[in-house]
Amino acid sequence: MSANPEPMPMVPGGDWCGADPFAPDFRDDPYPALHRLRERDPVNLTPVGTWRISRYDDVAAIFRKARTSQTLSDGTAPNFDPLDRRGSFLEFMLNKDDPEHLRLRRLAVQSLGPSTVKQMEGEVIKTVAGTLDRALERGGMEIIRDMAHLVPSRMVCQIMGVPEQDRELFNEWTAARTNAFFARFLPPEVQQRTRDAGSAMADYFEALVRERRKNLGEDMISALIRAEEEGDKLHDGELVVQAIGIIIAGYETTIGLIGNGMRAFLDHPDQLEKLRNDPALINNAIEECLRYDTPILFNWRVIAEPFEVGGKTLPKDAVIWQMLGSANRDPARFPEPDRFDIARKDVQHQAFGGGIHFCLGNQLARMEARHAIGQFAQRTRGLRIEQGRLEWSHSFFRVMASLPITFH
């Protein structure tokens, strides 16, 4: 076996249409390229043989109407690195179809439902308040480290049962591990970093599961151990993979939501002032943050039977990339889509995906962002905020590594 998986073959006639998601400069500002893609070839066959769906209505139609799978008809995952075995997402609920997906999701939702959100809300409020106390005293903050990362990482670790002193271990692991979802298309050094992160996380959670089996607690790992669905328990390997996947989702996507959302407000001070003057806009503001700069620009599905979309018939086993970031800025769906407007009347975005794999932790993410951004707006009233240098993380998702700000 070769040291690295074989690259995906180039497809004759396939074209990135000036919107190559793997290009180094794509994440800096992907939206002009996504606009060109949507206008030139909205159902686009790429040079690596995948299909990109970029119009809002087409993305929604596939989520609602197409018969899709997460894997090819032979059971293989189209985007994954076949050498990435430890902590592999092949067994994660996101990569499963019903009924197996439903079984795993039911077990996990017990620890991520509305009651958990309500229980965690007080801790979120307290964490955000402490962060802002320190920031106002210092005259600035590092938005990602001090807020966008701190809040969701602390909450998801509490939910999972990861001790507070271990929380920082996950900083690099989770960012690197997101690349597993599309690792087949990434450079060898990124693939290796992704595998290493998977092995490290598998080691950690295998040890944690062994400990919890001896001393059950009130955390999610303990709940998964206890849980039975029609007499079926998770075995240790399956449990470890679910834990890895859930903690990555709980970390990275919410870092992106809070970080990208706060950046949008900093780039649009008129909207920050609007929120200060009308705090009741916060719920709509969070939805606009998700629409305007979603943490996940695209996800994938596999067509299980031929499906016509945008005037083209996608064949069985076609691998499609649902371009959520493009759909959320489709002018056919949203007037002036490139304008950040927290009072926008209709913000029915695609940021959480759709169908049976609709984001499991969406309520928790929204609650965390609501308090982080809402408190920030109110407590920085009257201050001029200056942005420092932005850096992107190693995450495959649209997540920043650093964005310092100072208050004047």
pLDDT in tens, 187-202: 999 999 999 999 999 9
Say which amino acid occupies 29. Answer: D
Structure tokens at 258: 């809070």
Task: Report pLDDT digits (tens) over 290-309.
Answer: 999 999 999 999 999 999 99
The structure tokens 């969070």 sit at 286
Say if residue 38 is exposed, middle or buried (CB neighbours under 10 Å; 0-12, 13-18, 19+): buried
Q: How far apart are CA 114 and CA 120, in angstroms?
A: 10
pLDDT at 7: 41
Q: How far, CA to CA in Å, does 266 sit from each of 256, 260, 273, 311?
A: 15, 10, 10, 41
**Does the pTM of the predicted model rise above 0.85?**
yes
Q: Which of 283, 288, 255 is nearest to 366 (CA)?
A: 283
Band of the pLDDT at 17, cuts 50, 70, 90?
very high
Instruction: State the virtual CA torsion across 289, 293, 299, 303 in degrees, nearest 10.
Output: 80
Residue 282 predicted with pLDDT over 70 = yes
As a whole number, mean pLDDT of residues 198-211 equals 92
42 vs 160, residue with greater confidence: 42
Q: Beta partners for 407?
A: 385
32 vs 111, residue with greater confidence: 32
SS3 101: helix
Task: Report pLDDT digits (tens) over 90-124.
Answer: 778 777 888 877 877 877 776 666 777 888 899 99
pLDDT at 231: 63
283 vs 70, residue with greater confidence: 283
Residue 393 predicted with pLDDT over 80 = yes
For residue 114, is the peptide bond before it cis, meaning its omega torsion is within 30 degrees of 0?
no
Q: How far apart are CA 352 and CA 362, in angstroms?
A: 7
230 vs 208, residue with greater confidence: 208
Lowest mean pLDDT among 257-261, 325-329, 359-363: 359-363
Task: Report pLDDT digits (tens) over 166-182.
Answer: 988 888 898 889 888 88
Other CB atoms within 10 A of residue 56 CB: 24
As a whole number, mean pLDDT of residues 380-402 equals 94
325 vs 357, residue with greater confidence: 325
Task: Report pLDDT digits (tens) over 122-158.
Answer: 999 999 999 999 999 999 999 999 999 999 999 989 9
Q: How far apart are CA 280 and CA 284, in angstroms?
A: 8
Q: Beta partners for 391?
A: 402
Q: How far apart are CA 17 and CA 38, in angstroms?
A: 9
Q: How far apart are CA 287 and CA 281, in angstroms?
A: 10
Residue 337 predicted with pLDDT over 90 = yes
Q: What angle do CA 111, 150, 143 make, to 5 degrees?
A: 140
Q: How far apart are CA 285 and CA 343, in angstroms?
A: 7
Q: How far apart are CA 164 and CA 159, in angstroms?
A: 11
Structure tokens at 262: 């706060």
Q: Beta partners for 43?
A: 53
Residue 287 predicted with pLDDT over 60 = yes
pLDDT at 87: 67
* Average pLDDT, rounded, for the chain: 89
Q: Which of 155, 164, 178, 212 is nearest to 87 (CA)?
A: 178
pLDDT at 81: 86
Phi-psi region of 355 (alpha: psi -120 to 50; beta: other; left: phi over 0): left
Structure tokens at 63: 């989520």
pLDDT at 249: 77
Band of the pLDDT at 85, cuts 50, 70, 90?
confident
Sequence-ordered strand ranges (E) for 239-292: none
As a whole number, mean pLDDT of residues 205-219 equals 90
Structure tokens at 395: 């995450």
Task: Report pLDDT digits (tens) over 36-82.
Answer: 999 999 999 999 999 999 999 999 999 999 999 988 999 888 888 88
pLDDT at 130: 97
